[in-house]
């Protein structure tokens, strides 16, 4: 482990909130340099689980109890009232619930109970998850999708066969939903799905149905979601901004973005506003979804900025992440936050040199970063691990196995949710594959109904 960093002066405070208005984050389960131990012990063998009692009693004891050396009375689980069993299962990470369906008919019924779905949605998240989508190495290679649970140190494969076999790529995730876009021959399509329930919706064609940048956002208060298609140039014409509303199930054409010289193709969405970097005019272009209007923000970029990424934080917080220096000289990675009142970028953190050297071994090496709820994740093309930064805790930590195929993979934060309606999507299309097809990142021949949890090493 690296030596402790000497104490230094406190870094600049955030410009967007007073010192006392610090919002506690969700439980991360991570220390600064090392990940926390798994939240659950490794499961017993199928024979041991079967010997623990009838029905789902022995399986429940092996999954939900944290101390495998303490015997559990199977009769307690067998006679547990439905309301108490519902409360216990509501606190099980969602990836493990799908392995519980074959335990008994009683558990199968509870996992489909609307009261259970409501209770599970009300329980705080067990920690951040990263969704990795790999398109494969060849034209005939099937895409792969998986979720890495950071606190559980486990990667779970998501069956991808429920979506049409189109040439898709990952757009992003919000509120438990994931958006993909791609081509079926020469036709451009946009699909929104819930990977846990495998329910999905094919969005209608846009008025100008051409490939462009998309952003997915969920409005839990309205129980709906929106997909925003930013203005773009196609051939010799400018495509207008279009917004899809799941409540109306249609695209609406909004204002055309003024002619600008975009600095980057990366966008960030927070507080019902879409942000893009521009070089001319210098600063940001902001699109207000509520009024359907583009505005220019004259926020000058920091000096000697090599590559900047806009990252959306919680509520109104907007971050800028990038390297300072020259490609041929010593560089440093820094994080700024937009002061909306003064329209200036205020530096709030710097990546420690040991992390910077480990993440980017070459001065000109490319990196990607994305965020969610004041968490920022860094990935490098030449590494299979990521670096996580908690803005509120000011803590850095490594994430092993962040991307299994860096050259062909796309990664984003993902918040698993069993209730697609609760997270804003009225997606009621039929499930195409059984939920039991979920497996961990291990050989399918080694998996059984009693193997509820395999730790990703």
Q: So what's the pLDDT on residue 432?
A: 38
Burial class of 137 by CB neighbour count within 10 A (0 to 12, 13 to 18, 19+): exposed
Dihedral, 390, 392, 393, 398 alpha carbons, nearest 10: 0
| Mean pLDDT of all residues in 142-154 | 84
Q: How far apart are CA 321 and CA 324, in angstroms?
A: 10
Question: How much is the pLDDT for 84?
Answer: 85
Assign domain 260-393 one CATH number from 3.30.1330.20, 3.40.640.10, 2.120.10.80, 3.90.180.10.
2.120.10.80
Q: Which pLDDT score is estimated for 139?
A: 52
Categorize the per-residue pLDDT at 403 as very low, low, confident or very high, splitting at 50, 70 and 90. low
Residue ranges of the chain assigned to CATH 2.120.10.80: 260-393
Split at pLDDT 50, 70, 90, the class of 71 is low
Section 184-202 average pLDDT:
90
- DSSP per residue, 103-122: G-HHHHHHHT-HHHHHHHHH
Q: Which residue has the higher pLDDT, 382 or 157?
A: 157
Q: What average pLDDT does this structure show over 64-84?
A: 66
**24-47 mean pLDDT:** 37
Q: Is the pTM of this model over 0.85?
A: no
pLDDT confidence of 434, banded at 50, 70, 90? very low
DSSP string of 231-261?
Answer: -EEETTEEEPPEEEETTTTEEEE-PPPPP-E
Peptide bond preceding 120: is omega within 30 degrees of 0, i.e. cis? no
* pLDDT tens-place string over residues 118-141: 888 888 887 889 998 887 655 556
Query: Rounded to an integer, what is the distance from CA 253 to the centroid of its chain?
Result: 28
User: Residues with Cβ < 8 Å from 419, sequence gap 6 or more?
Assistant: 117, 118, 120, 121, 176
**Integer angstrom CA distances of residue 433 from 142, 217, 273:** 16, 26, 36
Query: Could you give the CA distance from residue 218 to residue 227 in angstroms, rounded to a whole number?
Result: 9
Alpha carbon separation from 343 to 184, 218, 284, 288 (Å, rounded): 43, 27, 10, 16
Express each pLDDT in 253-267 by its tens digit. 988 888 777 776 678
Contacts 24+ apart (CB under 8 A), 301-307: 301/277, 301/345, 302/334, 302/336, 302/345, 302/347, 306/331, 307/264
| Contact between residue 249 and residue 192 where contact means Cβ atoms under 8 Å apart | no
Tell me the pLDDT tens digit for each residue of 80-125. Answer: 888 888 888 888 888 778 777 777 788 778 877 888 888 888 888 8
Range from 10-19, 66-75, 162-171, 315-324 carrying the lowest mean pLDDT? 10-19
d(CA 379, CA 370): 9
pLDDT for res 312: 93
**Chain segment 16-29, per-residue pLDDT in tens:** 445 544 444 443 33
pLDDT of 70 reads 57
């Amino acid at each position: 482990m690296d030596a402790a960093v000497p104490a230094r002066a406190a870094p600049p405070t955030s410009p967007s909130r007073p010192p006392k208005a610090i919002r506690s984050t969700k439980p991360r389960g991570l220390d600064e340099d090392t990940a926390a131990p798994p939240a659950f012990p490794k499961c017993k063998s199928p024979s041991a689980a079967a010997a623990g009692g009838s029905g789902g009693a022995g399986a429940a004891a092996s999954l939900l109890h944290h101390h495998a050396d303490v015997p559990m009375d199977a009769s307690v689980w067998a006679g547990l009232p439905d309301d108490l069993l519902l409360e216990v299962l509501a606190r099980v990470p969602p990836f493990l619930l799908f392995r519980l369906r074959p335990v008994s008919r009683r558990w199968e019924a509870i996992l489909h109970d609307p009261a259970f779905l409501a209770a599970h949605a009300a329980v705080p998240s067990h920690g951040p998850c990263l969704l990795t989508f790999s398109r494969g190495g060849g034209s005939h290679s099937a895409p792969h999708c998986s979720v890495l649970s950071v606190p559980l140190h486990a990667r779970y494969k998501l069956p991808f066969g429920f979506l049409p076999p189109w040439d898709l790529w990952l757009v992003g995730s919000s509120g438990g939903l994931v958006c993909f876009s791609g081509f079926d021959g020469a036709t451009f399509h946009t699909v929104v799905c819930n990977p846990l329930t495998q329910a999905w919706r094919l969005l209608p064609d846009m008025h100008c149905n051409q490939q462009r940048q998309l952003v997915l956002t969920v409005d839990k208060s309205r129980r709906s979601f929106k997909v925003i298609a930013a203005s773009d140039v196609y051939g010799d014409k400018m495509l207008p901004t279009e917004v899809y509303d799941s409540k109306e199930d249609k695209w609406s054409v909004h204002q055309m973005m003024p002619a600008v010289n975009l600095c980057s193709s990366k966008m960030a969405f927070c507080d019902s506003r879409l942000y893009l970097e521009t070089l001319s005019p210098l600063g940001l272009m902001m699109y207000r979804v509520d009024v359907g209007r583009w505005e220019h923000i004259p926020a000058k970029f920091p000096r000697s900025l090599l590559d900047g990424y806009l990252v959306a934080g919680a509520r109104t917080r907007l971050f800028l992440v990038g390297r300072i220096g020259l490609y041929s000289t010593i560089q440093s990675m820094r994080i700024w936050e937009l002061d909306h009142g003064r329209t200036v970028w205020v530096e709030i953190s710097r990546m420690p040199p040991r992390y910077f050297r480990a993440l980017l071994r070459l001065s000109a090496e490319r990196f990607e970063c994305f965020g969610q709820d004041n968490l920022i994740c860094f990935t490098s093309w030449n590494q299979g691990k990521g670096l996580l930064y908690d803005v509120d805790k000011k803590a850095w930590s490594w994430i092993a196995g962040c991307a299994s195929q860096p050259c062909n993979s796309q990664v984003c934060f993902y918040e698993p949710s069993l209730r697609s309606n609760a997270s804003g999507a009225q997606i009621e299309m039929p499930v195409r594959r059984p939920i039991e097809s979920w497996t961990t990142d291990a050989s399918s021949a080694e998996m059984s109904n009693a193997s509820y949890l395999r730790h990703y090493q």
